[in-house]
Amino acid sequence: MGNRGERRNSITETEIEDKADVYLNDRDHIEVHVVKGDFTALPEKVKEFIAENVKVCRPKGIYLCDGSEEERDEITEKMVARGLLTPLQKYDNCFLARTDPADVARVEGRTFTVTKEKYASVPHVKEGVKGILGQWMGEEDARRESQNRLAGCMKGRVMYVIPFSMGPVGGALSKIGVQLTDFNYVVLSMRIMTRVSSKIWDVLGDGEFVRCFHSIGAPRPVQRKVINHWPCDPERVLICHFPDERRVMSYGSGYGGNSLLGKKCFALRIAGRIAKDEGWLAEHMLILSITNPKGEEKFIAAAFPSACGKTNMAMITPSLPGYTARCIGDDIAWMRFGEDGRLRAINPEAGFFGVAPGTSTKTNPVAMKSCMKDTIFTNVGMTEDGGIFWEGMEKEVDREKPITTWLGDKWKVGMEGKAAHPNSRFCCPASNCPIIHPKWEHPDGVPIDAIIFGGRRPEGVPLVYESFDWQHGVMIGASLKSETTAAAEFKGKQIMHDPMAMRPFLGYNFGDYLQHWLDVDQPGRHMPKIFHVNWFRLNEQGKFLWPGFSENVRVIDWICRRVDNEDIAEPSPIGLLPKSGSICTEGLSGISEEELFSVPKDYWTEDIKETKQFLIDQTGCDLPSVILDELNKQQERIENM
Ligand code: OXD
Ligand code: MN
């Protein structure tokens, strides 16, 4: 924080009223008070974008963000004064936000892709089947639904204008966005998660940008009771993506992926479509590097459904001596083949928005260190001395001392209930990460050697297997399934399909998406090997067969040796399995290779039948024939085993 005693340009009602009116556009004579920044200096297209939305939403002023620390401190101070942020004295410049308990996760049921033609957005599903690979809304419906919500939705509030870059500012693989929002929490979080800077205006010039609109939907005077100083309109949440226009409209929620539009909305759904049009890949993947004791470094991109431990893997502390892991990103990878034929990846984000529960000095000490400064925690518990607490941290706090839960109740470790919401988060700058890779912001990205798909599969699925080739690997990705978690609104544990870990983040027809993955395999390109991992297999007593976390380096090491074509794999009906003894288990006790790597015929007979049916039902005539062939071949191999 800056000097709290000194009042810089805090936005006060009077000051806003005092500012001279500014005409935002000549045609409609829209006037608005410019709270901060020089509207006249903005690129024309940005002025138009702002003016159109001011006209509809009627904010009391506009605030052009510059991404500076002064700006951060000014906004933070105001939020602390209002009670929306609580300073966490134990750490440096860290704050806790508690949301309205009705606004705690991404709302997949209210998230849509809007295109003129339905099948540009979603595949042809079999008659009578409910499609789960994206939701389409027609243009007319989207226009009507937006109008119903947006007219006057920012009355009495300031509209912040956030210029941001996904990827290093000006980088060849980077893209620019401009987000409008009426929620200062979003401004602070976007500042952590993306690169917000007034330099963006110069880089942008008259170029294209992704138009991101966000409103919490709580014009003043508020109609709905505001809980925890977290205004929202949860009953009317609506998140629409307009891939043809490279535009996002998000209304009603202030939480995570619903409101930090650079993340899922832009970097996955809209960028997915841009990537298809431009011939690259925008994926729900972490990026990490592993250097072995010989000093050889490999880069890996890995896709797991939400809340399956991506952040833990991205920040792995290898248990094997002599290995070093470094993190490039924990959630999203933008990957493009370079002129040398290598697939290069950047992390478009600038921060981590990690699931808090389960993160601890035991499971992810690197993440714990990353969030000790400049971090916003949301919906976690708080200790008496201004520290954080969530499920998984029981050994790190004094059990006798009371904790304030995310709902504001007094609670102690051992009592019923939970201190933190299962989808509570830490939002911290990636630069805080002690093992961040020196090249994590390199504009050319890092060369990817292997791609991993994984999920929570308690039964039947081996610890690791390798695809026979790229096409088989794409089929493995398309067949991805996992136990549900708290990242979205689903309740209870069930195994759900989450193809390519992209089910909630698809920006266009999934059949076309699979075809795009097949099409990037071109002569002259060095295709990364594709693997599937499962850290979560249980034995008959319900105990994990594999210790996971830092021990996963043993599996990563096997993968790296396979990248070097070491003869340590043997075929099975589902892919190449590690030869006996080829994964180093030295120092581990109670590991049963037999149980970890078995491929039970009954299980896989059922699995391939179900998966094939799922893909046929969900993508119908859009399913690439290559993928259907791969599924049939796999089925045949299983039948003959
Ligand atoms: C996330 C998610 O927040 O996948 O990363 O839900
Ligand atoms: Mn994610």
> Is 257's C-beta closer than 6 angstroms to any atom of ligand 1?
yes
Instruction: Supply the residue whose CA is at minimum distance from atom 1 of ligand 1.
Output: 306
Ligand nearest to the CA of 425: 1
Pairing of strands 297-303, 285-291: antiparallel
pLDDT at 22 over 80: no
What does pLDDT average to over the chain? 94
pLDDT digits (tens, 9 = 90+) for 304-319: 998 788 999 999 999 9
pLDDT in tens, 61-71: 999 999 999 99
CA distances to 47, 549, 609 from 466, in Å: 51, 20, 21
| CA 20 to ligand 1 center in whole angstroms | 42
How many whole angstroms from 306 Cα to the centroid of ligand 1? 5
Distance (Å, whole) CA 564 – CA 545: 27
Residues present in the chain in total? 641
- Atom from ligand 1 closest to the CA of residue 505: 4
Q: In the prediction, which pLDDT does 142 show?
A: 98
What band does 31 get if pLDDT is binned at 50, 70 and 90? confident
> In this model, does residue 300 exceed pLDDT 70?
yes
- The ligand placed nearest to the CA atom of residue 489 is 1
Query: Is there an atom of ligand 1 within 6 Å of 504 CB?
Result: no
Decide if pLDDT at 608 tops 60: yes
Query: Around ion ligand 2, which residues have CB less than 5 A away?
Result: 306, 331
Closest-approaching ligand to the CA atom of 488: 1
| Residues facing residue 531 across a β-bridge | 452, 466
Q: Residue 462 corresponds to which amino acid?
A: P
Ligand 2 centre distance from Cα of residue 237 (Å): 20
Contact yes or no for 125/617 (Cβ under 8 A): yes
- The stretch 489-498 carries a mean pLDDT of 76
Q: For ligand 1, atom 2, which residue shows the shortest CA distance?
A: 306
Q: Is 353 in the pocket of ligand 1 (CB under 6 A)?
A: yes
DSSP H or E segment with residue 337: strand 333-337
Query: How much is the pLDDT for 486?
Result: 56
Domains of the chain: 13-81+110-251+259-276 (3.40.449.10), 282-351+438-599 (3.90.228.20)
Tell me how crowded residue 359 is: count the other CB atoms within 10 A of its CB. Answer: 26
Helix orientation angle between 510-519 and 625-639, rounded to the nearest 10 degrees: 80
Looking at ligand 1, which atom is closest to the CA of residue 353? 3
Cβ neighbours for 147, distance < 8 A, ≥ 6 positions apart:
none
640, with CB counted inside 10 A (0-12, 13-18, 19+), is: exposed
- 306 within ligand 1 shell (Cβ under 6 A): yes
Residue minimizing CA distance to atom 4 of ligand 1: 306
Counting from 1 in the atom list of ligand 1, the atom nearest the Cα of 306 is 4
Q: What is the mean pLDDT of residues 281-307?
A: 96
Q: Has 308 been annotated as catalytic?
A: yes
Closest C-alpha to 507, from 183, 231, 111, 193: 111
Confirm or reject: Cβ of 256 under 6 Å from ligand 1: yes
Catalytic residue among 57, 153, 240, 308: 308
Closest ligand 1 atom to residue 105 Cα is 6
Q: How far is the CA of 487 from the centre of ligand 1 (A)?
A: 6
Residues 6+ apart with CB under 8 A from 68: none
pLDDT band at 490 (very low <50, low <70, confident <90, very high): low
Q: For a pocket test of ligand 1, which of 353, 379, 482 has the largest count of ligand atoms closer than 8 A to its C-beta?
A: 353
- pLDDT(9) > 60: no
pLDDT digits 0-9 by tens, 145-200: 999 999 999 999 999 999 999 999 999 999 999 999 999 999 999 999 999 999 99
* Confidence (pLDDT) at 487: 55
Whether the model pTM is above 0.85: yes
The DSSP annotation for 217-277 comes to S-PSSPSS--BTTB---GGG-EEEEEGGGTEEEEES--SHHHH-TIIIIIIIIIHHHHHHH
Q: Which residues pair with residue 230 across a beta bridge?
A: 227
Among 165, 162, 182, smallest CA distance to 174 is for: 165
